[in-house]
Amino acid sequence: MIEPKTFQPISGQKLLDLPQVRALPADTQFAMRVVATVLPFRVNNHVLEELIDWSRVPDDPMFRLVFPQPGQLEPQVFDRVAELIKAGADEDTVQREARAIQTQDLNPHPAGQLEHNVPLVDGVRMDGIQHKYRETVLFFPSQGQTCHAYCGYCFRWAQFVGIDELKFASREAEGLASYLREHPEVTDVLLTGGDPMVMRTRVLERYIEPLLTLDHVQSIRIGTKALAWWPYRFVTDKDSDDLMRLFERVRGAGKRMALMAHASHPVELEPKVAREAVRRIQDTGAVIRCQAPLVRHVNDDPEVWADLWREEVRLGMVPYYMFVERDTGARAYYHLPLTRALEIYREALRRTSGLARTVRGPSMSADPGKVCLDSIERIAGEEVFVLRFLQSRNPDWSGRTFFARYDPSAAWLNELQPAFGESKFFFEESASAVQAQSRIAESV
């Protein structure tokens, strides 16, 4: 039996009232206050009580993932805010400064997310829909744009907003369904956020039910970190049983429900309630696929990933992607060079059986597509990165290999130079053509 818990979020500056935080040194508390002024913060009672080992703070990986860390802001940015607060500046002034930092220093919308991927129908932008890869449409239900707790490295931190209306959900869902009726090439719809699992079941079903009538939609995916941040969502919340019935209806309609679980560290899967959640989800016929970014201070250790993948396989889940941390927000604190990411991926993979080797990575979700670093080789006397498109804006690029000059400090695709004296990567010419085209489309 799992004891129900009531969801209790703690956000923003309220973190300073937590007894666990008040027990920390005064300068740590002040640093948290500074960082939480600029970056969104949210934790909840499950994370506080069951995931963070407070005897290991400040080194505990879940603590580092959720709680504000001084290194998340560049020192000069940190000092700007710290000085304002120390000088006793009023709330408006502090907030204005925070806003300026968010828009100028933290690259709020990486990989051209806002500009390039939103489709137009009859000249109208279909907000909430991103269609970048032919088979898969990404959909952002407006009421699923927050999470049960926030990860410090979130690349969607800039979009945390909230509204609450069933009517709105239905209208949005209608827009999605009519877009899909015009696009028979789409087999997968991926609901994402934020975290769509923050929505009540009766809201979620407004989005999912219309998809069940579309023959060409085979899989409905939900990107979520609720298995880690709030597994009670699937087990003891008031509408958990209704949620399981909804997942069953997806299977009943001949489609596959895939939960794309964001799993950063094996401790997330330890609580009994998390295991019960996995079992209940699987009993509905849904499959759970797991993915997470590789981040410094949290999971930059091959043993952590090997444990994570082994545990996922043991619980019947499928390791799917290992991502490279994106170029946004608190990246300076979390990022790792690609060379280290590859080492960790390979070393972890070596420690697992073939069942865990369904995981692909280290993968960058960059503007031209998902690019994975396969290996470092010496070819014709030159040390090179061997890279490959797993997914691509242009479907013809998927599966293609290309080469970049070895660079021990590079951490993202745009920091790489073509190898063998080439002046461009093969996809760069046509990529700029695609962008020019979408600019034209948008200006019509």
Ligand X SMILES: *Cc1c(COP(=O)(O)O)cnc(C)c1O
Binding site for ligand X (CB under 6 A): 130, 132-133, 136, 138, 190, 365, 370, 391
User: Closest separation between CB of residue 151 and ligand X, Å?
Assistant: 17
User: Closest separation between CB of residue 396 and ligand X, Å?
Assistant: 16
User: Closest separation between CB of residue 234 and ligand X, Å?
Assistant: 22
Q: Which is nearer to ligand X, 41 or 133 (CB)?
A: 133
For 167, the token pair is 């009517």
Contact 182, 121 (CB under 8 A): yes
Contact 291, 317 (CB under 8 A): no
Closest CA to 45 of 273, 288, 311, 223: 273
> Residue 4 carries which DSSP code?
P
Q: Which is nearer to ligand X, 143 or 363 (CB)?
A: 363
User: Closest separation between CB of residue 436 and ligand X, Å?
Assistant: 20
Q: Which is nearer to ligand X, 306 or 371 (CB)?
A: 371
User: Closest separation between CB of residue 321 and ligand X, Å?
Assistant: 7
Contact 123, 444 (CB under 8 A): yes
C-alpha span between 213 and 345 (Å, rounded): 40
CB burial class (10 A; 0-12, 13-18, 19+) of residue 74? middle
Q: Which is nearer to ligand X, 63 or 309 (CB)?
A: 309
User: Closest separation between CB of residue 111 and ligand X, Å?
Assistant: 8
What are the C-alpha distances in Å from 137 to residues 117, 181, 182?
10, 12, 12
User: Closest separation between CB of residue 391 and ligand X, Å?
Assistant: 4
DSSP state letters, 47-61: IIIII--GGGTTS-H
38 in helix, strand or coil? helix
287 in helix, strand or coil? strand
User: Closest separation between CB of residue 64 and ligand X, Å?
Assistant: 25
Q: Which is nearer to ligand X, 132 or 296 (CB)?
A: 132
Q: Which is nearer to ligand X, 399 or 408 (CB)?
A: 399
- Per the DSSP assignment, residues forming a β-bridge with 140 are none
Q: Is the dihedral of CA 168, 173, 174, 178 positive or negative?
A: positive
For 101, the token pair is 């930092």
C-alpha span between 115 and 434 (Å, rounded): 12
Q: Which is nearer to ligand X, 130 or 284 (CB)?
A: 130
User: Closest separation between CB of residue 412 and ligand X, Å?
Assistant: 15
Q: Which is nearer to ligand X, 249 or 400 (CB)?
A: 400
Phi-psi region for residue 424, left (φ > 0), alpha (ψ -120 to 50) or beta? beta
Kindly give the residue spans of alpha helices, DSSP state H, lying in 164-229: 166-181, 201-208, 226-229
Q: Which is nearer to ligand X, 133 or 427 (CB)?
A: 133
